């Protein structure tokens, strides 16, 4: 950074933050919705010229934008796209790119979330039997 006569020149990109899959900072590994991706990000900072805006994208591989191109979200720290058609069993990644006021950028990508819309199936369903002596567990076999 160089400063003269009140003009500051920022030569450094913002610091890389963390991107998580889902609504909170706890990262989702699986999701049961194949039409929506939500991501949350934090710790993208720039001490010289501050972070001006961020964009986000969704890809079928880390860093890719084949599901959704980079989309500007301003200074938001969370975004959702609910108009997707995601493949069951597919893994999807969110990439966030943040820019400072000097136009320099840094990106980070989530660890990925796997879409699983398969309904669970089981040959053995739990049955709880209540008697005058308390609760007893038993198994009922379904064929």
Distance CA 85, CA 96 (A): 21
Position 96 scores a pLDDT of 98
pLDDT, position 129 = 61
pLDDT of residue 134: 54
C-alpha distances (whole Å) from 38 to each of 28, 105, 117, 136 are: 10, 22, 16, 42
Tell me the C-alpha to C-alpha distance, in Å, between residue 60 and each of 69, 70, 78, 102: 12, 14, 19, 31
Question: Between vectors from CA 109 to CA 107 and to CA 111, what angle results, nearest 5°?
Answer: 160
Provide the residue-wise pLDDT of the chain in tens; the chain has 143 residues. 555 566 777 888 999 999 999 998 789 999 999 999 999 999 999 988 899 999 999 999 999 999 999 999 999 999 999 999 999 999 999 999 999 999 999 999 999 999 999 987 766 666 666 665 554 544 444 44
- Among 105, 118, 110, residue whose Cα is nearest residue 37: 110
């Amino acid at each position: 950074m160089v400063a003269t006569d009140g003009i500051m020149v920022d030569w450094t990109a913002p610091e890389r933050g963390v991107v998580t899959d889902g609504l909170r900072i706890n990262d989702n590994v699986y999701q049961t919705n194949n039409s929506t991706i939500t991501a949350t990000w934090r710790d993208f900072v720039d001490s010289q010229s501050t972070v001006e805006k961020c964009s986000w994208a969704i890809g079928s591989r880390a860093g890719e934008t084949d599901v959704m191109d980079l989309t500007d979200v301003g200074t938001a720290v969370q975004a959702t796209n609910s108009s997707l058609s995601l493949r069951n069993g597919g893994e999807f990644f969110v990439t966030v790119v943040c820019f400072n006021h000097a136009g320099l950028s840094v990106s980070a990508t989530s660890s990925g979330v796997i879409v699983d819309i398969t309904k669970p199936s089981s040959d053995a369903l739990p049955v709880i039997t209540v008697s005058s002596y308390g609760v007893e567990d038993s198994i009922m076999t379904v064929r």
